[in-house]
Structure 1
Amino acid sequence: MWESEGEDLGGGREHGVSSLHPDRHDGVKSDGFECRNESWYVSSDIPSDLLVKVGDASFHLHKYPLLSRSGRMNRIVCESSRDSERIEVELDDIPGGPESFELTAKFCYGLAVDLTASNISGLRSAAEYLEMTEDLEEGNLIFKTEAFLSYVVLSSWRDSIVVLKSCESLFPWAENLQIVRRCSESIAWKACANPRGIRWAYTGRPTRTSSPKWNSDSKESSPGKNQSVPPDWWFEDVSILRIDHFVRVVTAIKVKGMRLDLIGAAIMHYASKWLPGLAREGAQGSDDTWNQGGLHLIIAGSANKEDLSSSQIREQRMVIESLISIIPPQKDCVSCCFLLRMLRLANMLKVAPALVTELEKRIGMQLEQSTLQDLLIPSYNRSETLYDVDLVHRLLEHFLVQEQAEASSPGRDPHTEKHGYDATLRPSVLSAKLRVAKLLDSYLTEVSRDRNLSLTKFQVLAEALPDSARTCDDGLYRAVDSYLKAHPTLTEHERKRLCRVMDCQKLSVDACMHAAQNERLPLRVVVQVLFSEQLKISNAIANSSLKEAGDSHQQPMMSTRKQLLEGTPQSFQEGWAAAKKDINTLKFEMESVKAKYLELQNDMDNLQRQYEKMASTKSGKQSSSAWSAGWKKLSKLTKITSAEAHDIGAHIPETGVVEKTRKGPRRWRNSIS
């Protein structure tokens, strides 16, 4: 027979305790056990004839009490030599170790055994190991430990937690005996129950309440009128479990229909306790701010492989992999900040690539919720760059794929978004793409200071988002300017290539004024900035409908244009003036050359007519003299024209006018056309 003393979760007594009183055997009477230097002796007048060694402990026992209740001991004794008066048995592989065997030995001698949540799993496994079944004796240890598990432990919240915790050292016995499964389902059923039906008892935590007291009639444990049971009451108790048992509990809770946001919050709470780099500053809630210092400390220490041993690295890697596998696939179940910090640790601890890819996809679903500090993930793959730029590019790709899938979904209204804003939200709230674009521009500005960041990587990352994601390119301009400042050795071609990532027409007035004075930018880009600003001003003036509005706005616009021109560097102004003067000179000289060409053309036509007239005459002498006189006149005109063209070409540098004039009037015709 065994009797339950009842549980008391709020007080100091141990809960779920039962006294086991098996029937005494008349063969060997004992008053108890006594320990001397890791050796246990039975207080009996009969000398012991059985020595059982379990690890470092030795038990000096008698054959008959153990043989009458244990099938394994029966076989061992029968197989041993019958000539020896004392038999020695080694049971190093018994589950529960010396503590569990001590309790089974006491049970065999008929002594009282206290069953508790701490020892029941080891005692049940040891009874199975020793084959203490009902075939040998009715009411044997297997039957009584199973009854205690079913009727006492599984009906109590705290006992189920304690038993599941004690099963960590009993693999695979506790798993094969279904102790882990039954405790996990019991915990899941109680966690999903209506909190209003739970009578509370406190565990001593000043700021949190946990550990509900089930089926208690104590009036002191009832909550007050203003006291309500928080939905996360079970987080603290479940978080003491090992990761594999925690996964079993969370999986069972999912099957029971728990809210996904609560499951995500429980996962974040568990990670904060078992992963030192993810310790939270706050006490409760899923939107707590995560501590950044602890994570950086671990990363810095692990770089030398001194702070974390190989076993600790394997343990943390297993925790991260298990948590990734049980995160609900729905969006917003866990915060993006938490996912990014998990990704940081996963890269540092070399987590399986498939799980890292899955984590990156989850981050891409809610990338607009991230912050710049979370995206600055160092490179752990021996990359030349300080930060993992390729990782951020993959996150952007996952984000765009998710946005495209949501946009093409049949239940989405194509008119919900207008001008980059979400119509279902307040007008001041930016859409996801705009927030991601702003975040990306800040990230580019930060990583551009790295001298090892190549121009190609910077350009690919800057162009990862479509043009519609940015309504203003001021942030992108800051990133480009920061990159130019950190890489002063770029060639002119590379600087032009870099500036192609931004649109000058999307720059604000302040950005245009800064760009006009920025000597790091190519001259062509500065001209484009000034031209785009002038075009904006012209369009604004042309579109003004009222004269009063036009007068009121024209003056500040003209003043803005004047400021832009005045703010332009002197070198740019002088270069532009010289180029304009050269253009006007070339135009004037081209007109002069064109006039000379027309004069030569007229002379040529006159000579042609004279030739035809002379050819019609029959006198060869007259035709010959006329022909000679005509070509002499043409030769004289050609020399005069060539000399004038040579004088004109002396004032036209770096042009092909001189060469074309020397080659004859036919070349001039082709050049002018």
Structure 2
Amino acid sequence: MSNKNPSLTRNSKPPDLELYLKGVPFHLHKETLAKKSAKVTTLLECNKIDELRWILRDIDVDPTAFFLVVSFCYGYKIHLSSENIVSVLCTAYSLEMNDDHSSNNLLNKAATFLEQRVLISWKETVKALAVCSDKILDKIADVGLTEVFLDSLLEKALKDPILLDDLTTLPLRLYEPLIQESSKHNVSVENLVASVCNYAKRYVFERDSGDESVARNKRQVLEAVERLLPHQRGAISCGFLFKSLKESMFFDASSDCRKGFEVRISRQLDMATSKDLLILLPSKVGVGAYDINLLKTILKSFYSNYSVSDVSRFVSVARMLEEFLLEAAASDACLSVETFKALGEITVAASCDVLRYSDEIYRAVNVFLERHRDLTETEKMDACRVLNCKKLSPEASEHASKNEKLPLRIVVKVLFFAQKQIQDKVARDMKSVEEKDDADIEDMNTKLLRLDIESDYKKDREIENVECVVHCVKNKLEEKKISVWREVKRKFGCMTSLTVDACNCHIKKRKKTYHHYK
């Protein structure tokens, strides 16, 4: 920096002011600075020029930005950019480099550049704020520029909310109020959540050194993230919420922050998966502890949010816990019997009234015993206490009855209940058959009765039909007999206009003589 010092080329006098900014030396002329800076002029008049170094340190001015300020004082043309404008502007303001002291001064030039070249662009505005230190941000707050920056960003975000996703470089003290203001307008929940999650992923989830300042920053970001996230069910992924909760415990965030994540999780626990719940497990094998009380708290809050009618949600949570128990048993070789039993009891409590079988719990027990072959018989029995032999499916019962890893007492119980299930099934089947037979008999009786009625009806109809036919035949025969008799009588010459019954003609019959042969 010293070989580019403007004093070496624009002023033949030797420098009479030496400053060091963050280890970078500046050899300057007091009078040259005083021509552009009212503050330097005042310090010289009061013989307090040494205070200049404290003023520059107080605003944490960057050496590169201060070099531009000094270059301007020496008459050089300087190049302003989004990366240096805020620091240059704050330095010019602190040194009182205004037009009242000198025409076309730096403060006016920097303000014009900020307005015409930076604030009109979202990208350039974010870029300008991204490089600001906390002390510079304090200065722009004192000047009143914070509202100017936020208003510029908010105006553009309301026109295109997707811009909010690209704010990971913004300082937290500016990011949080911007998101808060955006949430008060018609910015969608999806855009707000996406932005907050991206911010958390960069400043919290990315692992850094264990430096205390880094941990403090992560804690501050986590607490801000919790305040910014909506409480709407399903708006935030369960995985993100579980990660945030775990980090809030790790970095010792405030109780309100931790409680906020717990509440959001409990409201949508039925939407979580076993993978989400596994996030709460120790990050390294054998490190950390399972927070059983935390899991109970979340479950208690979940059940308090819903009624008995929400059985489908209870089923989802029960199945998720069973899968969680199985994966915990499979993934953690250091899982103790006490912890497995505690997790198993929670799982049993969630599934006992909503799931028909407990096969997944049996599988978890089987995996746990497989990974802990050195357990004593007593320890095995403790691990198996979460197993309800009455709720094993026939397939699981058959497997358990041949499982050599199980204690003998458990195998005997499995066989006993398996036999009882068979007996109960046979009894149910027999009862079903009897009921079916009774129903079939009743149905047959009904059909037979119907047939009898129909048969009697048909018989009556048939009798009526036969009687009718006989009557008609008789009539026809009578008619035929009468007609024949009439013809006979006509032939005998007895036909008159009278009816047959009125004819008095008598025909003498010849006496027949029968001869008998001897």
Contact 2:401–2:411 (8 Å) recurs in 1: no
Query: Partner residue of 1:41?
Result: 7
2:331 aligned with 1:442? no
Distance 1:524 1:102 in 2: 85
Q: 1:273 to 1:98 in 2, by over 3 A?
A: closer
Distance 2:132 2:95 in 1: 18
Query: Partner residue of 2:144?
Result: 178
Q: Normalized per residue, which structure has more helix?
A: 2
Q: 1:98 to 1:233 in 2, by over 3 A?
A: closer
Contact 2:348–2:386 (8 Å) recurs in 1: no
SS at match of 1:184: helix
Deviation digits for residues 8-54 of structure 1 (CA, Å, limit 9, x no counterpart)? xxxxxxxxxxxxxxxxxxxxxxxxxxx74364316446636752524
Contact 1:42–1:61 (8 Å) recurs in 2: no
Match of 1:404 among 299, 304, 323: 304
Q: 1:540 to 1:344 in 2, by over 3 A?
A: farther
2:355 aligned with 1:453? no
- Following TM superposition, by how much is the alpha carbon of 1:161 offset from its aligned partner in structure 2, in angstroms? 0.8
Contact 1:496–1:522 (8 Å) recurs in 2: no
2:82 aligned with 1:117? yes
Distance 1:310 1:51 in 2: 38
Q: 1:440 to 1:74 in 2, by over 3 A?
A: same
Distance 1:459 1:44 in 2: 81
Query: Partner residue of 2:165?
Result: 235
Query: Partner residue of 1:61?
Result: 29
2:120 aligned with 1:155? yes
Match of 1:366 among 268, 274, 277: 268
Match of 1:75 among 27, 42, 47: 42
Contact 1:437–1:465 (8 Å) recurs in 2: yes
Query: Partner residue of 1:262?
Result: 191
Query: Partner residue of 1:356?
Result: 258
Q: Percent identity?
A: 21
Distance 1:106 1:405 in 2: 66
Contact 1:459–1:498 (8 Å) recurs in 2: no
SS at match of 1:167: coil
Deviation digits for residues 415-468 of structure 1 (CA, Å, limit 9, x no counterpart)? xx5xx4xxxxxxxxxx33222211211222344465623175245323442633
Distance 2:295 2:55 in 1: 50
Q: 1:48 to 1:114 in 2, by over 3 A?
A: same
SS at match of 1:257: coil
- Following TM superposition, by how much is the alpha carbon of 1:186 offset from its aligned partner in structure 2, in angstroms? 1.9
- Following TM superposition, by how much is the alpha carbon of 1:118 offset from its aligned partner in structure 2, in angstroms? 2.1
SS at match of 1:457: helix
Query: Partner residue of 2:352?
Result: 467
Distance 2:301 2:128 in 1: 46
Q: Which amino acid in structure 1 is aligned with residue 53 of structure 2? A: L
- Following TM superposition, by how much is the alpha carbon of 1:77 offset from its aligned partner in structure 2, in angstroms? 0.4
Deviation digits for residues 262-298 of structure 1 (CA, Å, limit 9, x no counterpart)? 2212233334444565xxxxxxxxxxxxxxxxxxxx6
Match of 1:523 among 395, 412, 417: 412
SS at match of 1:250: helix
Match of 1:489 among 347, 353, 376: 376
Match of 1:131 among 96, 101, 109: 96
SS at match of 1:91: helix
- Following TM superposition, by how much is the alpha carbon of 1:91 offset from its aligned partner in structure 2, in angstroms? 2.0
Query: Partner residue of 2:228?
Result: 326
Contact 2:243–2:280 (8 Å) recurs in 1: no
Q: 1:389 to 1:432 in 2, by over 3 A?
A: farther
- Following TM superposition, by how much is the alpha carbon of 1:73 offset from its aligned partner in structure 2, in angstroms? 1.1
- Following TM superposition, by how much is the alpha carbon of 1:92 offset from its aligned partner in structure 2, in angstroms? 4.9
SS at match of 2:291: helix
- Following TM superposition, by how much is the alpha carbon of 1:308 offset from its aligned partner in structure 2, in angstroms? 4.7
CA RMSD between the two structures: 3.9
Mapping for residues 212-611 of structure 1, pairs under 5 Å: 232=162, 234-236=164-166, 238-275=167-204, 277=206, 308-377=210-279, 388-391=289-292, 394-395=294-295, 397-407=297-307, 414=309, 420=311, 431-448=312-329, 450=334, 452-454=336-338, 457-465=342-350, 467-483=352-368, 486=372, 488-491=375-378, 495=381, 498-499=384-385, 502=388, 504=390, 506-518=391-403, 520=407, 521=410, 523-524=412-413, 526-543=415-432, 545-547=435-437
Q: Which amino acid in structure 2 is aligned with residue 434 of structure 1? A: V
Q: Which amino acid in structure 2 is aligned with residue 91 of structure 1? A: R
SS at match of 2:350: coil
Distance 1:267 1:537 in 2: 60
Q: 1:482 to 1:67 in 2, by over 3 A?
A: closer
2:57 aligned with 1:91? no
Contact 1:52–1:88 (8 Å) recurs in 2: no
Q: Which amino acid in structure 2 is aligned with residue 373 of structure 1? A: K
Q: Which amino acid in structure 1 is aligned with residue 265 of structure 2? A: I
- Following TM superposition, by how much is the alpha carbon of 1:143 offset from its aligned partner in structure 2, in angstroms? 4.2
SS at match of 1:57: strand
- Following TM superposition, by how much is the alpha carbon of 1:164 offset from its aligned partner in structure 2, in angstroms? 1.1
SS at match of 2:28: strand
- Following TM superposition, by how much is the alpha carbon of 1:239 offset from its aligned partner in structure 2, in angstroms? 2.0
Contact 1:153–1:160 (8 Å) recurs in 2: yes
Q: Which amino acid in structure 2 is aligned with residue 343 of structure 1? A: L
Q: 1:341 to 1:106 in 2, by over 3 A?
A: same
- Following TM superposition, by how much is the alpha carbon of 1:540 offset from its aligned partner in structure 2, in angstroms? 4.0
Distance 2:123 2:270 in 1: 41
Contact 2:72–2:78 (8 Å) recurs in 1: yes
Q: 1:524 to 1:159 in 2, by over 3 A?
A: closer
**How many residues get paired?**
423
SS at match of 1:329: coil
- Following TM superposition, by how much is the alpha carbon of 1:126 offset from its aligned partner in structure 2, in angstroms? 0.7
What 5-or-longer segments of structure 1 have no aligned partner?
Answer: 1-34, 82-86, 196-230, 278-297, 409-413, 421-430, 551-673
Contact 2:40–2:52 (8 Å) recurs in 1: no
SS at match of 2:3: coil
Query: Partner residue of 1:559?
Result: none
Q: Which amino acid in structure 1 is aligned with residue 323 of structure 2? A: S
- Following TM superposition, by how much is the alpha carbon of 1:386 offset from its aligned partner in structure 2, in angstroms? 6.4
Distance 1:500 1:111 in 2: 81
- Following TM superposition, by how much is the alpha carbon of 1:158 offset from its aligned partner in structure 2, in angstroms? 1.6
- Following TM superposition, by how much is the alpha carbon of 1:125 offset from its aligned partner in structure 2, in angstroms? 0.7
Distance 1:476 1:89 in 2: 73
Q: TM-score, normalised by structure 1?
A: 0.54
- Following TM superposition, by how much is the alpha carbon of 1:532 offset from its aligned partner in structure 2, in angstroms? 3.4
Query: Partner residue of 1:612?
Result: none
Distance 2:313 2:243 in 1: 21
Greater Rg by CA: 2
SS at match of 2:6: strand
Q: 1:436 to 1:386 in 2, by over 3 A?
A: farther
SS at match of 1:58: strand
Deviation digits for residues 162-217 of structure 1 (CA, Å, limit 9, x no counterpart)? 11113236242133223344323322321221x4xxxxxxxxxxxxxxxxxxxxxx
What 5-or-longer segments of structure 2 have no aligned partner?
Answer: 441-518
Distance 1:513 1:45 in 2: 98
SS at match of 2:17: strand
Q: TM-score, normalised by structure 2?
A: 0.68
Q: 1:107 to 1:364 in 2, by over 3 A?
A: same
